[in-house]
Amino acid sequence: MIETHVMADKGELGRQAAARGAAAIREALARDGEASIIVATGASQFEMLGHLVAAEGIDWSKVTAFHLDEYVGLSESHPASFRRYLRERFLAPLGNRPSFVPVDGEGDPQAAAKALGERIAGRRICVCFAGIGENCHLAFNDPPADFESEAPYLVVTLDEACRRQQLGEGWFPDLDAVPQQAISMSVRQILKSELIVLSVSDTRKAQAAKAALEGPVSDLAPASILQTHPNTVMFMDEAAASQLGREA
């Protein structure tokens, strides 16, 4: 069962999500002397990242950050690049102290996915920060998602709903400009995280939030797989929670 919290607005959502994740990072540093985390991108993460980089008591020089996904064939200089997003919103405010393992889709995507898998293999991931898509995707695992692959990263084809979301969020000038493939962390790799912190906001995510929380576990609603994870928490604003049929 996914732990849920409904916040009054995005600012409070981001503050609470960052606090929950920061606590997990501090615990991992105290336990192991280092910490590995997964960071996400997109409009849903703006407020959370703003609070996370301001969190106290974290030695970021001992943190390794992986990220969830990146478009195939997209330059890091492109406004939609997730590597660029994280360098600007996460790494730069921290003085580039975390060790960053980027997903680079500009070369051979299969080779890049394999190399990333080797980098993350055996890592103890203390927290994965994530969101869910309007189509209920998790990372870029669009429906029907692959729930079986043990590969840590996959080359995936993006469905039209996913591509339209990226267009709607203002990252691209038109649908034709949105790449059709991406390198994505796999569902099974995400599920290996000790804690998963989800930030979900806006009415456009309400149907996906309902499917993830209340629907059956199905590859047609990929984020529903998180119902099987022992330590997932979803922070929502009231708009995203508007279709829930139970008290959150």
In the chain, what are the domain boundaries? Answer: 3-214+221-237
Q: What is the predicted pLDDT for the residue at 35?
A: 98
Q: Cα dihedral sign for 238, 239, 241, 243?
A: positive
Under DSSP, the state recorded for 177 is G
Tell me the average pLDDT across 81-97: 95
What is residue 166's three-state secondary structure? helix
Going by DSSP bridges, is the β-strand pair 181-185/69-71 parallel, antiparallel, or unpaired? Answer: antiparallel
Q: What is the predicted pLDDT for the residue at 171?
A: 86
Q: What is the predicted pLDDT for the residue at 182?
A: 97
Confidence of residue 214 (pLDDT cuts 50, 70, 90): very high
Weakest-pLDDT range from 165-169, 219-223, 231-235: 165-169
Lateral strand order in the sheet of 232-237? 3-7, 232-237, 196-200, 125-130, 35-39, 63-67, 99-101
> Would the pTM of this model clear 0.85, i.e. be above it?
yes
Tell me the average pLDDT across 139-158: 97
Confidence of residue 247 (pLDDT cuts 50, 70, 90): very low
- Structure confidence by residue, pLDDT tens digits, 5-60: 999 999 999 999 999 999 999 999 999 999 999 999 988 899 999 999 999 999 99
Tell me the average pLDDT across 205-232: 98
Tell me the average pLDDT across 113-133: 97
Tell me the average pLDDT across 166-179: 91
Tell me the average pLDDT across 171-179: 93
Statement: residue 155 has pLDDT above 90: yes
Tell me the average pLDDT across 99-112: 96
Q: What is the predicted pLDDT for the residue at 248?
A: 41
Tell me the average pLDDT across 87-115: 96
**CATH top class, domain 3-214+221-237:** alpha beta
Statement: residue 133 has pLDDT above 60: yes
- The whole-chain average pLDDT of the chain stands at 95
Q: What is the predicted pLDDT for the residue at 212?
A: 98
Q: What is the predicted pLDDT for the residue at 199?
A: 98
Statement: residue 234 has pLDDT above 60: yes
Q: What is the predicted pLDDT for the residue at 177?
A: 93
Q: What is the predicted pLDDT for the residue at 246?
A: 53
Q: Which of 86, 107, 88 is nearest to 37 (CA)?
A: 86
Angle at alpha carbon of residue 220, lines to 217 and 222, rounded to 5°: 65
